[in-house]
Structure 1
């Protein structure tokens, strides 16, 4: 599972973008829309368990390719090698756990698939140019303080349980400012596949904390709840997936899309500490009460931020 969105993007002049600390050169940008079947299957498999081994040999075998051919195709389509992608996304997840919550460094390393803290610290330091404890201290010192907006947004928030919902989704990469455009592309793909837009409930899935992921690499799934077994067989770029069951903090948001990351920040900076909860392991979800592809300029959604029970 990928890192939840644990913080709003740093505001101008308030905090250093921590991605600037990376010592390795940034990879090429991934595709704005992932449209290849084997690649979608692989990404879902990687994200299904961030603590499990995900070797290139196992990944290639799953999709019926040789490791050599899989390695070449993955790098060609994603702009970085398979190993680099797994390492980068898992370390970004670990950075979010360490810097946005009270998760211990050893626990973060285990939850991200590292067998020893020493190996984790070496890999982490190569990526962020700082040891985990130093990055935590810097992030805490530079974190923007919650504003009145965040306090007001989370005032009606409440804990809820979410079951595993079957979804039909499409994977996008890019900054959160592009999310409204993602929904337009997704709606066109649903319509082309013959799915009934007018009866479908939309859900957005935010996989990455923007403080630790470059904007062009931010992962976002546009999805709809899969409520009918009579839907036609799906072809890439559409695929079936599901939400993670568990505990979440729910709050309603109405207005321009940038209120979504502000709401998530409010939950993490205000609601979770107030209620002595920690960030959970799932992504953050947006459950829309009005179709986001209508292009009205505003959103009507319930934001679900994962939390400890």
Structure 2
């Protein structure tokens, strides 16, 4: 059994190299031979091993990376459809439009012009903040295995792909697993290349760090939680509302911890309009209450 586990872990490490190759430039996808060479597998067997370790094919990983980056360019930067198609490696604007419509259920131009397809947040009425769907709850300490990500936040999916391969190779992915990202910087204040984040997965005691995966424990924390429904590219809308509209009128103070996101359902099996993300703002202990 020990030998089998070590072999599976080795496979996960090698497939992670292929994932990194795909994510390096989705506009110029690597060949089968290049991916197989990066993972040190025969091209005859690479696709099957990749699918068993990651749960999807290399083509599906590439399509997901492309559409995720395209959505961010459209809704955050307001880029022209043809320019996004070119930047993301599609052969034509028409091909991009077909792929985007199939993935997001709407044409890219309409997606950009409407500001996205995610839920709309209420207008601020600070004198009646109870109307907002914010849950304040105490989070227990969490043991997290994480992969560091540096750069544009919408690129953190690559870190999660690497982490998923690492976790699957060790049998760590269970129905109770929580997928959590930590975001250390404000993307409006810090240069994109310097943004710091971590892709994380909850793990039990006894798991050891390896292959660029680090382990740490998140402390028990009081949290303000907003569950956002829609594409990840639109999550900045939730952050703006939390910090600009909710927090000043809430009577709360943010704690000295990074913001978190918890991904509540599977983006690989659901359309983007149905993705659910808990945006979590750490808070100081309530007045008169003990520190968590």
TM-score for the superposition, normalised by structure 2: 0.48
TM-score for the superposition, normalised by structure 1: 0.46
Q: Which has the higher contact order (CA 8 A, sep 6+)?
A: 1
